Chain A
Amino acid sequence: MTDQTEAGEILSAPLIIEYPFKRTTGPIIGAFLTGLREQVLVGSKAEDGRVIVPPAEFDPVSGNDLTELVEVGPEGVIATWAWVTAPHAKHPLDDPFAWVLVTLDGADTPMLGALKADGIDAVSTGARVKPVWAEEREGHIDDIAHWVLVDDADEGDRA
């Protein structure tokens, strides 16, 4: 029997959790993704008449099925935003950008996106924005490459 030895250097090794999850969408979220591929944004009509984007499959208050999808956007206004000074490698944009919750025209609830803008001072609640579509689209949330301010649209499109 020996006494406990002083633990030396702490062992450590990388652990990677990685998988190409394949998710079935169901008809409502499937329609939303289909729309992204076709450059069309859709929301679902809730029981209280609100249009929810991305579409909810089920009424967020009652839990009942929602079945009516309506076209919204493509432009909208910023409901709230946050400026990322040092983007993470996993973030959708490499340069400093704003997370935005965008209430699309015709929608009542905002959706999340990444806004490309010149700087924190260029972004404000209530500003109008529009999506910039990815060149190759497959029916994925990344089909919206990012959002741009409507006034800056030309510059955003070039970038």
Chain B
Amino acid sequence: MPEIQLPASLQDVEAVRSVRTPARLDYTFTPGDATSRFLAGITQKKIIGQQANPDSRVYVPARGADPELGAATPIEVEVAQVGTVTSFCVVNLQFYGSGMEIPYTSALILLDGADLSIMHLIQEIPADQVRIGMRVEAVWRDDADIEPTLESIKWFRPTGEPDDVNVRIPGEIRGTGLGSWVGGVAPTELTVRNPRTGEGGTAEFGGEG
């Protein structure tokens, strides 16, 4: 750090080392078409998936584009309010903006009829009993408290059905996953089905819609 030469008037006073510069910006947020349509379903206690074409993936919630095709998702499909836990973590720490009592379980849940898991809470079961493959169902807020937000589903709870041991976990092929090197050989783009050309992919996974 170079030596600083101060004018006489500042040599014997306490130096400022930090400064508070609070700043606030106000925005008006609008969520867009796909999210608005999804949330319109939520206000009717329906979970509406969207897809780009009748053969493509069903996304819940869709965010505006099928991310594999790069296309809008105009088609709406109601999916089930039950699904399977594909993974989860147990949270033991109070987080910014979260009013949850700890410990609680945050899980990836693949709803029946959807192709991508949503992240949501699991309750009504001790955290240490949550399992991958467990079947769960949505628990809604009281009707008066339903708002256009996924938080209108308070949490998911076990249905009591047997676990789905064959739950489809995305990417679980090639031994352990899409990005595995098998026998020292790297995967290639052809490991997965190209959604535009239909080429690539394996019989194990990828041919389906």
Residues of A within 8 A of B (CB): 1-5, 7-8, 10-25, 27-28, 30-31, 33-35, 37-38, 40, 42, 65, 67-71, 139-140
Q: Least Cβ distance of B147 to chain A in Å?
A: 10
The 3 A-B residue pairs with the shortest CB-CB distance in the complex, in nearest-first order: A139-B16, A18-B24, A15-B29
The answer on a CB contact under 8 Å between A17 and B22 is no
Q: Interface SS of chain A: helix, strand, loop or mixed?
A: mixed
Complex CA gap A13/B35 in Å reads 13
The answer on a CB contact under 8 Å between B19 and A38 is no
The answer on a CB contact under 8 Å between B15 and A27 is yes
The answer on a CB contact under 8 Å between B33 and A140 is no
Complex interface: chain B residues within 8 A of A5 (CB): 37, 40, 76
The answer on a CB contact under 8 Å between A38 and B9 is yes
Residues of B within 8 A of A (CB): 1-7, 9-10, 13-31, 33, 35-37, 39-40, 54, 74-78, 148
Complex CA gap A37/B9 in Å reads 12
Complex CA gap A38/B30 in Å reads 47
The answer on a CB contact under 8 Å between A16 and B1 is no
The answer on a CB contact under 8 Å between A16 and B24 is yes
The answer on a CB contact under 8 Å between A25 and B25 is no
Complex interface: chain A residues within 8 A of B31 (CB): 11
Complex interface: chain A residues within 8 A of B25 (CB): 16-18
Complex CA gap A31/B22 in Å reads 21
Given contacts A11-B39, A12-B28, A22-B19, 4 further A-B contacts (CB under 8 A): A19-B23, A21-B22, A22-B21, A34-B15
A–B complex contacts, Cβ < 8 Å, 26 sampled: A3-B75, A5-B40, A8-B36, A11-B39, A11-B148, A12-B30, A13-B29, A14-B26, A14-B28, A16-B25, A16-B27, A17-B24, A18-B22, A18-B23, A20-B20, A21-B23, A23-B19, A25-B19, A28-B4, A30-B15, A30-B16, A30-B17, A31-B4, A34-B13, A37-B13, A71-B7
Q: A5-B37, A27-B15, A31-B10 are in contact. Are A22 and B4 (CB under 8 A)?
A: no
Complex CA gap A8/B74 in Å reads 15
Complex CA gap A68/B6 in Å reads 7
